[in-house]
Structure 1
Amino acid sequence: MAQYQRTVSVSTPAAARWRDYYELTKPRVVAMLLLTALVGMCLATAGWPPWWAVIVGLFGIGAQASAAAVFNHVIDRRIDTKMQRTRHRPVAEGRVSQTAALTLAVLMVAGFIACWWLNPLTAWLTFASLVGYALVYTQWLKPATPQNIVIGGLAGAMPPLLGWTAVTGELHPHALLLVMIIFTWTPPHFWALAIHRRQDYAKAEVPMLPVTHGVGFTQTMVLLYTVLLLVVGILPWLTGMSGWIYLLGATTLNLVFVGYAWWLKTGTQKGRAWQMFKFSIWHIFATFVVLLADHALLV
């Protein structure tokens, strides 16, 4: 963060504003969401999806995901000021006004139109995901229940389904399997961070599971969810959606994830939760890359 602050201080005001608005869209998170959407697009067809559907679909999904991120910055601004991890966010620190941020959120309009151009189902599902994350999770669930990330995680799990419908215009059980993978992965991913930042959440009075039920209970839940993910991860192979390459790759990744969860549960060394959180990001990225590679070799 110190490096970021030094960079801002020596940059021109215009450049600093550009970076602030860019940060509002949570580009790394959106990039990961778009990867999962792309995999959904590819797996939806026996061959490769039409290039125009991929471009328009990724633009529409990405624009609305970015808009949801902006709404999150605005709604969470007071909580963000109380947490070390988020207190330097553009809206929380006052570098971008609420009005300017919400103006940027008109991205959702362009995204909705792009998705509608493909098909109404994708447009409405993408909009529902935006509402689910920006309002249901951020505004209601996050300050209300320690199960916030479990319930609200469904919105973040939707992109592969959105990618699937962008190409086909219809729902399919295989697309729901992709949603299940991310939905099951989300709690151990986020609870590992919550354990690492427990004091931050307690200070901000956010009822994350480590704050309300303790670290030990949260570690147990993390372990149980990683075991559940191991089971869910086999379903794409069992249903014939993916082949042996996926099965071997995903099972290996999930076993390592379970190993991290067991390591977190049985040890007391500081930093274990942070190490697991960092691995979880690579885990979901690699899982969807393996899904795509398996599909590519079968085409």
Structure 2
Amino acid sequence: MDNQELVSIRTEGVSWRDYLILCKPKVVVVMLVTAAVGMFLAVQEIPPISNVLLGLVGIGMAAGSAAAVNHIMDRKIDEKMARTKRRPLPQGKLSPLQALLFAAVLGVSGIAILVFWVNALTAWLTVAALMGYAVVYTVWLKRATPQNIVIGGIAGAAPPLLGWTAITGSIEPNALLLVLIIFAWTPPHFWALCIARKEDYAKAGIPMLPVTHGVAYTRLQIMLYSMLMVATTLFPVMTGMSGAIYLGLVLALNAQFLYRVACLWTEPSQSPMLLFKYSINYIMLLFVALLVDHYMI
């Protein structure tokens, strides 16, 4: 940030919606769904409602803070991309200082809620995930390597673990399985978007896989990581965390996912956005399937 940006505060035309956009609410909702399912899977009975609500509020506020930092660090990139140029910072609706103050208040408040009303382990893990996304991924990995989303994906995969620890106060193997599923899902999900927005990323100088290795290679990687993802989704059955209901539902979801991947592989003209949009529904429905199985067996 230059000195003028650091001290500027804009008031004209500023709306609460601009601050909401900084939080990437659609992304945060997906994260909170997976965190909530992690909470309910952590125990056989219904978890304490106070822990559920306070945990989701704290995790959600921290996630919104990390998203706002991402907006700040990427504002120059966002100006060059059609998908992001209408965000509040590129449009000048908010100054970087305003966004930074908002991110700080949101993040500190969220972590404080977790420390004082949930447990310290969840708070520390949330801090690690926040730093992983807002600093390691956004500041370094995104600009350094086409494997950015693979390496940095662990931060985005943390919510079910955070939800689990919010209830139990401990890290357990089944919680890590949930993290592994999201970790394996992230590359095919995000690379589909990268193919659709290849020109934007190239213009912004971001080394996303389609830019550095081409679309055909990226389609191959989507296929391979999708197979890995499908394998990870079977682990809950193998460990006994889930049963026949989950297995039937996840097999149907996986069949649909692989069909869309195959279409992208065999038909280059196929819109990658079809896979991207389905992948969002896929991960939410998969976690719902885990929850349904948990309480019906």
TM-score class, shorter-chain normalisation, is over 0.9
Tell me the residue number matched to 2:5: none
Instruction: After superposition, give the CA deviation of every residue in 1:200-257 in whole Å (9 maximum; x if it has no partner).
Output: 0000010000000000000000001111111111000110001111111112111211
What letter is aligned with 1:28? K
Displacement of 1:119 after TM fit? 1.3
What letter is aligned with 2:44? A
Aligned-residue sequence identity (percent) comes to: 54
Tell me the residue number matched to 2:39: 41
CA distance in 1, matches of 2:13, 2:26: 19
Tell me the residue number matched to 1:25: 23
1:185 matched to 2:185? The reply is: yes
Tell me the residue number matched to 1:91: 89
What letter is aligned with 1:56? L
Displacement of 1:15 after TM fit? 7.9
CA distance in 2, matches of 1:272, 1:261: 11
Displacement of 1:128 after TM fit? 0.5
What letter is aligned with 2:74? D
Displacement of 1:14 after TM fit? 8.1
Displacement of 1:285 after TM fit? 1.0
Tell me the residue number matched to 2:237: 237
| Contact 1:177/1:235, CA 8 A, preserved across alignment | yes
Residue 285 and residue 14 in structure 1: after superposition, are their counterparts in 2 closer, same or farther (change >3 A)? farther
Instruction: After superposition, give the CA deviation of every residue in 1:76-111 in whole Å (9 maximum; x if it has no partner).
Output: 001100100001110122111111111111111111
CA distance in 1, matches of 2:13, 2:33: 28
List aligned pairs for 1:166-245, cutoff 5 A.
166-245=166-245
Tell me the residue number matched to 1:155: 155
List aligned pairs for 1:247-266, cutoff 5 A.
247-266=247-266
Unpaired segments ≥5 residues, structure 1: 1-12
Displacement of 1:48 after TM fit? 1.1
The 4+ residue runs of structure 1 with deviation greater than 4 A are 13-16
Instruction: After superposition, give the CA deviation of every residue in 1:158-204 in whole Å (9 maximum; x if it has no partner).
Output: 00000000000000000000001100000000000000000000000
Aligned residue for 2:15, secondary structure, equals helix
Displacement of 1:268 after TM fit? 2.0
| Contact 1:157/1:180, CA 8 A, preserved across alignment | yes
Aligned residue for 1:207, secondary structure, equals coil
CA distance in 1, matches of 2:95, 2:250: 43
CA distance in 1, matches of 2:47, 2:13: 38
| Contact 1:73/1:92, CA 8 A, preserved across alignment | no
What letter is aligned with 2:89? V
TM-score of the aligned structures, taking structure 1 as reference length:
0.93
| Contact 2:60/2:110, CA 8 A, preserved across alignment | yes
Tell me the residue number matched to 2:53: 55
Aligned residue for 1:192, secondary structure, equals helix
Q: How many residues align?
A: 285
Tell me the residue number matched to 1:286: 285
RMSD: 1.2
TM-score of the aligned structures, taking structure 2 as reference length:
0.94
What letter is aligned with 1:152? G
Tell me the residue number matched to 1:8: none
| Contact 1:160/1:179, CA 8 A, preserved across alignment | yes
